[in-house]
């Protein structure tokens, strides 16, 4: 015979709920969760633990990493499980529960901190299952043995390329020519831009050199700049080059720079590059609309020698001057070295 459906309580033999059985069942679940959390460190390889304890950081940093990987941090999620908090919700974003992974990696307020750091790290949510696995993957990418392997390779190369007298042999053929500057096509002006940067002062110099399709010198300028990074300094030089071209009334320009990342971001009109360089690049893209034709071009440093020379930290008294038709004397040798005409 068929019986009607009914609600049963599997924690007791008679399948009838009681407060006592509910109390014991709840505590058993909490003990299971706590035991799983406390044993989570066992999934981390011993090699990773050894690397953590050998890190050249203050002891409090290593201790914090140990507590985070052992899930011994007072997150809202753990406090809620221990009935020490009324809610497991993150007190900053109020969107998700505050686990260790959320607190250190996944919180929307934490992601900009990672991106603003020296590594410009972008948190990939799909690749983060738990903190121990994430840390283990990083130590798998950057183990100490990689550095030792590089050193051994360099030493092996030096031994293999040294003559009996101890002098290194020439490995690269001298017949391989270096890239050199070449003039633009007819109707275009070519701007070579470069920047120097000093980390302590967060400042440097930008150099801009303009030449026509015959290789004749048109204009040059040296400007002192302030920038938070090398990429930002190079982007500032590109912007200053566009500004100089507009002030000279040029219509069609090609901007040469040896900063490959900045040129690629300009060519793609992308914002995926350095966030410190983005303000300068966005202004340069807006200035592009003031020309009939504006093109971005990456060149190696050997083809950007004139701008590199002008952007050096030497002769700071040259800043603020714009040379038209006649270059400064310090550039004459470099311009002549390009094998192109230069007025003296």
Q: 318: helix, coil or strand? A: helix
Measure the CA–CA gap between 234 and 192, rounded to whole angstroms: 12
Question: Which residues have C-beta within 8 Å of that of residue 88, sequence separation ≥ 6?
Answer: 76, 77, 79, 80, 81, 97, 98
Domains of the chain: 85-128 (no CATH), 189-337 (3.30.420.10)
Instruction: Give the H or E element holding residue 222.
Output: strand 217-226
Determine the pLDDT at residue 49: 81
Could you report the average pLDDT of every consecutive run of 10 residues in the chain (344 residues)? 65 80 82 57 69 84 87 88 88 87 86 76 77 74 60 70 56 58 89 92 93 90 92 94 94 93 85 79 92 92 89 83 86 73 48
Determine the pLDDT at residue 35: 57
Determine the pLDDT at residue 209: 94
Look up the pTM and report it.
Answer: 0.49
φ/ψ of residue 176, rounded to 5 = -75, 115
């Amino acid at each position: 015979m068929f019986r009607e459906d009914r609600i049963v309580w599997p924690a007791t033999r008679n399948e009838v709920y009681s407060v006592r059985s509910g109390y014991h069942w709840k505590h058993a679940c909490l003990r299971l969760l706590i035991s799983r959390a406390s044993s989570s460190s066992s999934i981390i390889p011993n090699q990773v633990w050894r690397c953590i304890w050998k890190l050249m950081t203050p002891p409090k940093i290593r201790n914090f990493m140990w507590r985070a990987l052992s899930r011994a941090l007072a997150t809202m999620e753990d406090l809620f499980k221990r009935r020490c908090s009324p809610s497991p919700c993150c007190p900053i974003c109020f969107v998700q529960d505050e686990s260790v992974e959320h607190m250190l990696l996944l919180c929307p307020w934490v992601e900009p901190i990672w991106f603003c750091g020296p590594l410009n790290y972008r948190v990939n949510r799909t690749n983060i299952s738990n903190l121990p696995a994430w840390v283990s993957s990083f130590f798998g990418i950057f183990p100490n043995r990689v550095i030792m392997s590089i050193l051994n390779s360099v030493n092996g190369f030096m031994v293999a390329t040294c003559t009996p007298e101890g002098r290194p042999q020439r490995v690269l053929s001298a017949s391989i020519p270096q890239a050199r500057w070449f003039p633009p096509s007819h109707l275009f002006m070519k701007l070579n831009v470069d920047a120097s940067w000093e980390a302590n002062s967060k400042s440097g110099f930008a150099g801009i050199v303009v030449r026509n399709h015959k290789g004749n010198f048109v204009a040059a300028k040296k400007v002192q700049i302030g920038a938070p990074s090398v990429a930002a300094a190079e982007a500032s030089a590109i912007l200053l080059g566009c500004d100089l071209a507009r002030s000279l009334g040029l219509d069609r320009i090609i901007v040469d720079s040896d900063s490959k990342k900045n040129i690629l971001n300009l060519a793609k009109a992308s914002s995926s590059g350095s966030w410190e360089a983005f303000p300068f690049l966005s202004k340069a893209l807006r200035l592009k609309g003031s020309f009939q034709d504006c093109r971005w071009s990456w060149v190696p440093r050997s083809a950007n020698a004139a701008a590199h020379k002008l952007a050096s930290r030497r002769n700071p008294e040259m800043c603020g001057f714009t040379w038209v038709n006649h270059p400064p004397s310090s550039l004459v040798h470099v311009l002549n070295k390009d094998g192109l005409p230069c007025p003296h």
